[in-house]
Amino acid sequence: MSTRLAPTITQDTAFFWEGLKTDQLLIQRCEGCGSLRHPPRPMCPQCKSLSWSAIEATGRGTVISYVIPRHPPMPFFDDGYIVALVELDEGVRLVTNLIDISAEDASMGLRVVVRFERFDNDLVLPLFAPENIR
């Protein structure tokens, strides 16, 4: 697979990107009220606590919505790539790509599982494939 643009890694998001390198999908958990949040950010939107830890997600979820961008063509993606909003079983949502599935077979409600995809610039991204083909 081709190289992807590397994400901007900050003090607040480093744990997430480091976890992916060891095949862990980590989700921020508020130490004040226990709520989970993603993407990572310094303060809990529920209780305003700045204290947090991380839990490892199961990596299983459901496609909430998806799009197949056509224009403009993106240099890092083959034509027909799928951008999806996946809700993890833990309840948080991620924007990701679906893999190992054709655009025709993608659907809302599809059960998916994470795949830790490695790119040639030392980047690991959590992409999702249909649960039943693993």
Site string for Zn ion, 64-83 (x = CB under 5 A): --------------------
User: Is 27 a binder of Zn ion (CB under 5 A)?
Assistant: no
Are 36 and 101 contacting, i.e. CB atoms less than 8 angstroms apart?
A: no
Q: Are 124 and 96 within 8 A, CB to CB?
A: no
Residue 33 is a binding residue for Zn ion (CB under 5 A): yes
Q: Tell me the residue ranges of DSSP E strands in 41-102.
A: 52-56, 60-67, 82-88, 93-98
In angstroms, what is the minimal distance from the CB of 30 to Zn ion?
A: 3
Q: Is residue 6 part of the contact set for Zn ion (CB under 5 A)?
A: no
Instruction: Output the smallest distance, CB 81 to Zn ion, in A.
Output: 35
Amino acid 14 reads: A
Query: At closest approach, how far in Å is the CB of 128 from Zn ion?
Result: 27
Residue 133 in 3-state DSSP? helix
Q: Please compute Rg for the chain using Cα positions.
A: 15
Query: Given the rule CB under 5 A, which residues bind Zn ion?
Result: 30, 32-33, 44, 46-47, 49
